[in-house]
Amino acid sequence: MKQVMVVRSDLKMGKGKIAAQCCHGCLGAYKRANPIKVKEWERSGMAKVTCKVGSLEELLELKKLAIINKVPHYLVVDAGKTQIPTSTTTVLAIGPDEDEIIDKITGDLKLL
């Protein structure tokens, strides 16, 4: 079981901003996940992975894949008070769900 946060690397976000955006996504996807899978994930150590994509288009493609594969996910749209313009899509959080299912979506991505 794992949860993956996919971050847009084409935005000018510092590491603190990235971390906060990932937290938004982590919590958002967690709340939408199947409680039974959440329990499994918690028992197995709550693995969390961060990956990156180079554009909004790639992030939205992954969101489509998450929908097709029926995987809980959360797209973070930042209010844009700091560092980036208002309503910028920054992160897609996927899961927690089984590794094999998540890998169908994010298996080819580079780690952040």
Using CB under 8 A, list all residues that contact a copy of itself: 3, 5, 7, 14-20, 22-24, 26-27, 30, 45-46, 48-52, 79, 111-112
Longest dimension (CA), the chain: 39
Going edge to edge, which strands form the sheet with 88-97?
73-78, 88-97, 2-8, 48-53, 110-111
Q: Which tokens is 59 given?
A: 């992030």
Q: Which is nearer to a copy of itself, 64 or 105 (CB)?
A: 105
Specify the residue for token string 């958002």: 28
Q: How far is the CB of 32 from a copy of itself (least distance, A)?
A: 14
CB of 68 to a copy of itself, least distance (A): 25
Q: How near is the Cβ of 10 to a copy of itself at its closest, in Å?
A: 15
